[in-house]
């Protein structure tokens, strides 16, 4: 089992300079709101995924008045085998190294370490549009399938270039269709592979979702998910050809796997429209725990489970159910945040030897 042993932050978010150790299976970061609890979790996530969980851009992760940050951590597989992971951002350039070796591309680090974050705003995964659900699936598959990550990068690059070409064509600045044919070939090859992987993923992921929802809710609802894609009906190459007039009109690519979605179901109905707030919370936690189970199975390692103020949002029954799950033998290292240290100590009463406290 790979464990995070310590982490050092320099000019990352609100941390000028700080070092923290993780000596127990469960570590709770305690402090008032605004003290930096979530920022510390985000630093751990950034080391695993090369980017922040909470910010699409790098700027908010850099301390005000500075030009960059550095995060460094020690991971260990056992007492003898340890390695250092470092993430440095300076003057608009990000650099990741592992064991002293700097990656040529940031994407080369993806899949080395896994983490699963559960945060209060994650309910948007259920309530908002399809983009968040695609990112949820893409993040999972990119962690455990290098070919998927490469295909995703190729697809997104070709899509961006094709959309730019369509805008140029509308202004009369692009002539001929040679470039369009090239973009379509790349989209067809990479997009068809993404579609096949996503379709297969649903079959492997659904049992985890059903298992964890039952454990969390104790209810009789049946949950599931359906992968929605135009490619179920027609090959991507034909879709692109058939929708070309529409693409010219809107100056963007209207069909493809970048429009895919996941329909999240409870008793056969979309939970987004028919689920109660309590059911949505249980479904969300089941999704994230299923992500944990899926990554563990595919990567043959326990991801780090990061829980940001989740006990603040849960009723007693769901909190107790979640605690039973994360304290089971199936789970590895857990790092969580809470504003009330006494609540966490009470939750782990009787076995505080597994609990470490970081006070901010």
Give the residue numbers of the binding site. Answer: 31-38
How many C-beta atoms surround the C-beta of residue 116 within 10 A? 23
* 269-270/261-266 β-pairing: antiparallel
Q: For residues 46 and 8, is the Cβ–Cβ distance under 8 A? A: no
Residue 64: count other Cβ atoms within 10 Å of its Cβ.
Answer: 8
Q: 82: number of CA atoms within 13 Å, CB side?
A: 10
Got the DSSP string for 193-221? HHHHHHHHHHHHHHHHHHHHHHHHH-S--
What φ, ψ does residue 127 adopt, rounded to 5°? -85, -25
Token representation of residue 334 = 């857990």
What residues does 239 pair with on adjacent strands?
A: none
Identify each DSSP E strand in 124-215 by its residue range: none
* Residues annotated within a binding site for ATP: 31-38
Q: At what angle do helices 146-170 and 130-144 cross, to 10 degrees?
A: 140
How many CB atoms neighbour CB 298 within 10 A?
A: 17
What is the spatial distance between Cα 190 and Cα 131, in angstroms, rounded to a whole number?
18
Positive or negative torsion for Cα 37, 308, 1, 44: negative
Beta-ladder partners of 225: 264
The Cα-based distances of 340 to 38, 118, 357 in angstroms read 14, 18, 11
What is the spatial distance between Cα 33 and Cα 44, in angstroms, rounded to a whole number? 19
Distance CA 212, CA 222 (A): 12
Task: Kindly list the distances between the CA atom of residue 342 and the CA atoms of 161, 253, 339, 348, 350, in Å, as whole numbers in the listed order.
Answer: 54, 53, 9, 10, 14
């Amino acid at each position: 089992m790979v464990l995070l042993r310590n982490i050092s932050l320099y000019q990352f978010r609100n941390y000028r300079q700080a070092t923290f150790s993780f000596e127990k299976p469960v570590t709770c970061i305690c402090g008032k709101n605004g003290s930096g609890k979530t920022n510390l979790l985000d630093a751990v996530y950034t080391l695993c995924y090369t980017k922040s969980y909470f910010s699409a851009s790098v700027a908010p992760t850099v301390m005000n008045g500075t030009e960059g940050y550095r995060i460094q951590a020690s991971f260990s597989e056992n007492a003898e085998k340890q390695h250092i992971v470092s993430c440095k951002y300076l003057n608009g350039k990000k650099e990741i190294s592992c064991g002293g070796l700097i990656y040529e591309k940031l994407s080369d680090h993806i899949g080395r370490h896994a983490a699963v974050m559960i945060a209060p705003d994650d309910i948007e995964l259920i309530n908002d549009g399809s983009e968040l659900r695609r990112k949820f699936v893409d993040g999972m598959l990119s962690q455990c399938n290098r070919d998927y990550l490469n295909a995703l990068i190729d697809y997104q690059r070709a899509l961006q270039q094709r959309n730019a070409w369509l805008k140029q064509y509308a202004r009369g600045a692009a002539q001929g269709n040679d470039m369009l044919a090239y973009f379509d070939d790349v989209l067809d090859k990479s997009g068809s592979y993404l579609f096949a992987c996503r379709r297969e993923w649903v079959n492997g992921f659904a049992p985890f979702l059903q298992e964890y929802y039952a454990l969390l809710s104790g209810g009789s609802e049946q949950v599931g998910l359906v992968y929605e894609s135009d490619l179920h009906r027609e090959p991507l190459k034909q879709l692109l050809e058939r929708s070309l007039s529409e693409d010219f009109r809107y100056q963007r690519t209207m069909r493809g796997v970048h429009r895919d979605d996941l329909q999240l179901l409870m008793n056969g109905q979309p939970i987004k429209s028919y689920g109660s707030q309590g059911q949505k919370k249980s479904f969300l936690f089941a999704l994230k725990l299923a992500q944990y189970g899926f990554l563990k199975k595919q990567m043959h390692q326990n991801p780090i489970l990061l829980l940001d103020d989740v006990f603040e949002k849960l009723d007693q029954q769901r909190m107790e159910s979640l605690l039973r799950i994360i304290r089971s033998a199936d789970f590895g290292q857990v790092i969580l945040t809470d504003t009330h240290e006494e609540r966490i100590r009470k939750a782990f009463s009787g076995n505080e030897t597994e609990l470490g406290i970081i006070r901010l």
